[in-house]
């Protein structure tokens, strides 16, 4: 675990949301692409039934949790979000003796506020700890709703990416939105046609609303970071935060509640859905999922989709293995990426998965990684030749 980072650079100046389609043509950076893809992902989810499933309370005798929270064990809750909401990513809540721990905070401050209001109906205890599973905005942009928590925990790489990717990207989006507002204002002023002027005013109103949301959003990166593991002991409960390896990003952490045998996996686990591999190393992800499967847990909370079992995680890993099995021979044959994308089809057993539009991107990522392994590494005298390390 690294030392506690300075809270002074908590990125409080930031913010943004999902850029509109007109923005997407202008946005070049990887992080901006993430915002777009997260939004596409949310829309796609809205068309799938799987994400609507809700986890059952572990004990039917226990009253249901308020609102859209579900109880997994005593003091342990999950909010599996509606795909067409502004929350996008799932969130977990653990009520400790001295306060509340929140695992991921949804996509917007408003969604974070909604989570906070549900926590208030569960317990009078204050929120003490925020855990960010990784840097993606659908897991971190609700952080500001818990500003009183003061302590945000994540991996060193999550902090790095929020500071170096997220904040600059959102500043860029803010600048673009401001320029659009100014441009539309000028066009309205010189437009003689009343109908066209009305249409422009509608556009202006939408862009102004977007700009207001961006301006109100604050990026709050972790102020306590870990690179290996961190155990939190509070009252009778133990919480383990683990860096099990690269995967969905190079900064994913997993939260394990050993007594309840529950693991919150963030986006290392898409349950019943194809994964977003935008920032992933899929070959490392497969290794990390094997580490996940070694955990002594029974309940696996994904970043997207319903609460799952070990067999759900195994199926998700199996998807990667089948993907590798499809792409590997094509790479060996020397097929081009275009051939791979046009020739290969999603195996039928995943035909009910959500996010099926990610399949082409999944193929591309696997192709790129397997292709990189084919590049010969110059052998040095006396050094055993190995594959290309990552
Ligand atoms: Zn993610």
- Asked if residue 78 lies in contact with residue 122, where contact means CB atoms within 8 angstroms, the answer is no
Distance from the alpha carbon of residue 133 to the mean position of ligand 1, in angstroms: 9
The closest of 291, 288, 286 to 328, measured between CA atoms, is 286
Decide if pLDDT at 201 tops 60.
Answer: yes
pLDDT of residue 275: 96
* pLDDT, average across residues 273-277: 96
320-343 pLDDT tens trace? 999 999 999 999 999 999 999 999
Q: CA dist 186 to 128, 194, 204, 212, 262, Å?
A: 48, 15, 11, 19, 56
- pLDDT at residue 17 in the model: 34
| pLDDT beyond 80 at 357 | yes
pLDDT, tens digit, 9 for 90 and up, residues 44-95 = 443 343 444 444 434 444 445 556 899 999 999 999 986 667 899 999 999 9
Q: Do residues 319 and 366 lie in contact, with contact meaning Cβ atoms separated by under 8 Å?
A: no
What pLDDT was estimated at residue 182? 96
CA of 139 to the centre of ligand 1 (A): 7
The torsion angles phi and psi of 240, rounded to 5 degrees, stand at: -110, 125
Cα 167 to middle of ligand 1, angstroms: 16
pLDDT at 59: 45
**From the CA of 91, how far away is ligand 1's center (Å)?**
13
Predicted structure pTM score: 0.81
- Ligand 1 centroid to Cα of residue 131, in Å, is 14
> What average pLDDT does the structure give for the chain?
84
Averaged pLDDT, 105-114: 95
Instruction: Report the run of H or E that residue 188 belongs to, with start and end.
Output: helix 167-190
* pLDDT over 70, % of the chain: 78
Q: Which two tokens stand for residue 353?
A: 């998965």
Distance 275 CA to ligand 1 centre (A): 9
pLDDT at 86 (0 to 100): 87
Residues lining ion ligand 1 (Cβ < 5 A) are 136, 267
Q: Convert the pLDDT of each residue in 204-238 to its tens digit.
A: 999 999 999 999 999 999 999 999 999 999 988 99
């Amino acid at each position: 675990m690294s030392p506690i980072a300075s809270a002074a650079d908590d990125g409080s100046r930031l913010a943004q949301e999902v850029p509109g389609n007109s923005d997407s043509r202008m946005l070049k950076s990887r992080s901006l692409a993430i915002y777009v893809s997260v939004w596409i992902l949310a829309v796609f989810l809205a068309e799938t039934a799987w994400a609507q499933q809700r986890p059952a309370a572990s004990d039917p005798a226990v009253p249901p949790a308020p609102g859209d929270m579900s109880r997994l064990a005593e003091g342990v809750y999950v909010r599996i979000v509606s795909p067409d909401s502004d929350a996008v990513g799932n969130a977990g809540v653990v009520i400790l003796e001295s306060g509340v721990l929140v695992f991921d905070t949804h996509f917007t401050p408003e969604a974070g506020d909604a989570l906070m209001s549900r926590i208030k109906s569960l317990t009078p205890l204050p929120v003490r700890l925020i855990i960010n599973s990784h840097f993606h905005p659908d897991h971190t942009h609700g952080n500001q709703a818990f500003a009183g928590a003061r302590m945000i925990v994540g991996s060193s790489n999550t902090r790095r990416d929020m500071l170096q990717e997220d904040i600059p990207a959102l500043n860029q989006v803010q600048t673009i939105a401001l320029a659009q507002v100014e441009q539309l204002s000028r066009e309205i002023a010189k437009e003689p046609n009343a109908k066209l002027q009305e249409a422009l005013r509608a556009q202006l109103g939408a862009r102004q609303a977007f700009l207001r949301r961006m301006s109100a959003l604050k990026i709050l990166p972790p102020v306590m970071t870990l690179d290996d593991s961190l155990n939190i002991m509070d009252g009778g409960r133990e919480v383990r935060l683990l860096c099990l390896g690269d995967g969905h990003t190079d900064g994913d952490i997993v939260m394990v509640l050993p007594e309840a045998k529950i693991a919150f996996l963030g986006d290392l686990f898409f349950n019943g859905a194809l994964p977003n591999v935008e920032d992933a190393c899929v070959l490392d992800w497969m290794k990390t999922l094997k580490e996940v499967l070694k955990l002594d847990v029974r309940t696996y909370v994904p970043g997207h989709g319903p609460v799952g079992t070990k067999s759900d995680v195994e199926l998700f890993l199996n998807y990667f293995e089948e993907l590798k099995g499809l792409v590997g021979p094509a790479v060996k044959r020397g097929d081009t990426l275009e051939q791979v994308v046009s020739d290969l089809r999603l195996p039928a057993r995943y035909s009910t998965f959500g996010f099926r539009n990610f399949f082409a991107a999944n193929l591309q990522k696997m192709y790129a990684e397997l292709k990189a392994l084919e590049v010969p590494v110059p052998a040095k005298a006396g050094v055993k030749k190995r594959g290309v390390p990552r």
